[in-house]
Amino acid sequence: MTISTNKVPETLGSLLFESANNWGENLALVLHERDKSEWTYQELCDNSTRVASYLITRGVRKGDRVIIWGDNRPEWVAAFFGSVLIGAIVVPLDAQSTSEFFSLIKHETESSFMFLGSEQLSRTEDHTLETMLFDDLQSLIKPLECTREIGDFELISPEDIAELVFTSGTTGRPKGVILTHGNICSNVEMAGSAFDVTPSNRVLAILPLSHMFEQIADLLVPLSGGALIVYISTLRPDVIFGAMSRYGVTNMGCVPRVLELFADGIKREARLQGKLGLLERIHSIACKLPFAWRSKLFKDIHQHLGGSFKYFVVGGARLDPLLGSWWEGLGVKVVQGYGMTEASPVVASGTLSDRDHSSVGRPLPGVDVIIADDEEILVRGPNVTAGYWRNDTATLNAFRDGWYMTRDLGYFDSEGRLHIRGRKDNMFVLANGMNVYPEDIEQVLHEDHRLTDAVVLGLESRGDMEVHGVVLTNDNELVPDIIRTANQKLASHQRIVRYTAWPDATFPMTPTMKPKRTEILSKILEMGSH
């Protein structure tokens, strides 16, 4: 593990100013394909302090809640830092949030100001909050003076709240996770210890900034190390690869689904060129060679990725070890981590020199992780939230003797690496007493390249629980054989008893590309099964 010797500041404002002092004229943020906006570290700091001054003129004070609702762009980052500089509490919303969810969160937080994109403005009829559009931000703040001293702002302590990050609210009341400056900055330092981020890093940021994984992996850790962060205005493949090539992208944070889509694209192109068999043969040889040699064997693929790409940082969902190994065979490192919003969010991670794709790595320095008797993962540390916004019941239920109960099931191997079994809420028990972990079955299903996606549920039938597979594929006639093939590989208690061919082109997904199990279950109960 590479341990950073630079201690990260204790507040987000101090992190911003220190980065500007260290790398002022270096490029910090770029928006590719939309006016090609480019901000240096000093420009980011100056624009953020102007946003802070603007908020003060509009009556926003320390402790007030400020909503940020829109797509990734430099203005989003300036709105974020401008808010926390004056001690306001950021309430980030996913760009795809509904107007109903926005109204709910606005009411729940009693917010006094919001930043939003033009698309989000058109999505809501609620105009009771004072608003600044991202498109107008630079013109509105330009007349204002910027400051070059963090001391010009009200003193902010590590104990002050920086963000309220809300759950999606698909089931029950949304919970607002309280994260302090100290929570977040400690996680920046912890996560930064796994990677030697320097000004030579060029980060492609494609996940929503409203999610803590993206904030840590692709914003705050890179900024603390002087890296360049590249945003894109669309997820079209040509734009993604164009940005990677133009800026020499070296790494990116993503969810496993993105890795899968990239891999499918490479295989599809090889198939169109009649070279898929050749790709597979060379890949099998490459896996036996020293890692440094592999990129030379796949020079064309690396050029397609921009020519400088080195590694993915994967989180947000379970990684199929075979998928991780496939990318490693191409000479691209895949580092898997684990966390949750309540931990700001990273709890454990592999490193560039210590990667095991069957595990999520070792706990970060300063984070304590234990496995309870029922296999639930319990976490504590300076990065862990103190609780939920105005929800004492949820806070009480989330902790046991000072440990945060993750609801995830896992174990440590003999090397001290953490392995995730699945969600406690997803696990179900058969009539014979056997525990079934849906994630294990889904992993086997995903080995079949004839399907697009799959979800496994426990459904009651004649008083007993049964394993039910929900399969998404381009040809529903293939589904029976897909199920048979999977069942041949599964233990007897894991075998799929009934199945449903999903009728739509995609599953309903969270912003981090996890299937929404509750919505899928509701649809299955309506449809029936085979």
Residues 209 and 217: their CA atoms lie apart, in Å, by 10
Q: How far is CA 188 from CA 15, 57, 263, 375, 512, in A?
A: 10, 31, 30, 28, 20
Whole-number pLDDT of residue 246: 94
Radius of gyration of the chain (CA): 23
Find out whether 364 and 346 touch, Cβ atoms under 8 Å: yes
Mean pLDDT of 233-241: 89
Percent of the chain with pLDDT over 70: 97
Rounded to the nearest 10°, the torsion over CA 198, 204, 207, 211 is 20
pLDDT given at position 172: 60
Is the predicted pLDDT of residue 228 greater than 80, yes or no?
A: yes
CA distances from 13 to 22, 30, 182 (A): 14, 21, 12
Q: In order of start, what are the domains of the chain with their CATH numbers?
A: 428-527 (3.30.300.30)
pLDDT (0 to 100) of residue 337: 95
Cβ atoms within 10 Å, residue 71: 24
Q: pLDDT-derived band of residue 529, with 50, 70 and 90 as boundaries?
A: low
Asked if pLDDT for residue 160 goes beyond 90, the answer is yes
Most confident range (mean pLDDT) of 408-417, 430-439, 519-528 is 408-417
The answer to whether 61 and 111 have CB atoms below 8 angstroms apart is: no
pLDDT of 395 above 90:
yes
Write the DSSP assignment of 329-362 as a string of letters: HTT-EEEEEEE-GGGSSEEEE-BTTB--TTS--E
Supply the pLDDT for residue 174: 87
Tell me the pLDDT tens digit for each residue of 244-287: 999 999 999 999 989 988 999 999 999 999 999 999 999 999 99
Return the residue matching tokens 């997820």: 235
pLDDT single digits (tens) 93-151: 999 898 989 999 999 999 999 999 999 998 887 778 899 999 999 999 999 988 878 87
Name the band, by pLDDT with cuts 50, 70 and 90, for residue 4: very low
215, amino acid identity: Q
pLDDT in tens, 54-73: 999 999 999 999 999 999 99
Q: Give residue 36's pLDDT.
A: 74
Q: What is the pLDDT of residue 530?
A: 66
pLDDT digits (tens, 9 = 90+) for 333-381: 999 999 999 999 999 999 999 999 999 999 999 999 999 999 999 999 9
The answer to whether 396 touches 357, Cβ cutoff 8 Å, is: no
Find tokens 């998928």 and name the residue.
Answer: 323
State how far Cα 223 lies from the chain centre: 17
pLDDT of residue 169: 47
Give just the sign of the alpha carbon dihedral 475, 481, 484, 488.
Answer: negative
74 closest CA partner among 184, 214, 203, 231: 231
- Exposure string of 310-322, with b = 16+ CB inside 10 Å and e = fewer, is bbbbbbbbbbbee
The two structure tokens encoding residue 522: 């509701």
Residue 374 confidence (pLDDT): 92
CA dist 181 and 217 (Å) reads: 16
Closest CA to 516 of 426, 437, 424, 452: 426
Output the CA angle 231-234-237, nearest 5 degrees. Answer: 100
Question: Is the pLDDT score of 1 beyond 50?
Answer: no
Banded model confidence at residue 2, pLDDT cuts 50, 70, 90: very low
DSSP string, 214-260: HHIIIIIHHHHTT-EEEEES---HHHHHHHHHHHT--EEEE-HHHHH
Residues with Cβ within 8 Å of 225's Cβ and at least 6 positions away in sequence, in order, are 4, 192, 196, 197, 198, 199, 201
Residue 463 pLDDT grade (very low, low, confident, very high; cuts 50, 70, 90): confident
Task: Kindly indicate the confidence band of residue 168, based on its pLDDT and cuts at 50, 70 and 90.
Answer: low
β-strand pairing of 89-93 with 37-40: unpaired
Nearest-angstrom CA–CA distance, 371 and 407: 11
Regarding predicted confidence, which is higher, 36 or 472?
472
- State percent of the chain over pLDDT 90: 73
Residue 476 has pLDDT above 60, yes or no: yes
Judged against a pLDDT cut of 50, whether residue 5 lies above it is answered with no
* More confidently predicted of 4 and 435: 435
What does pTM read for this prediction? 0.88
Return the minimum-mean-pLDDT range out of 9-13, 158-162, 172-176, 489-493. 172-176
Q: Are 183 and 190 in contact (CB under 8 A)?
A: no
Least confident of 28-37, 46-55, 70-79, 398-407: 28-37
Mean pLDDT of 454-470: 89
Task: Give the model's pLDDT for residue 433.
Answer: 79
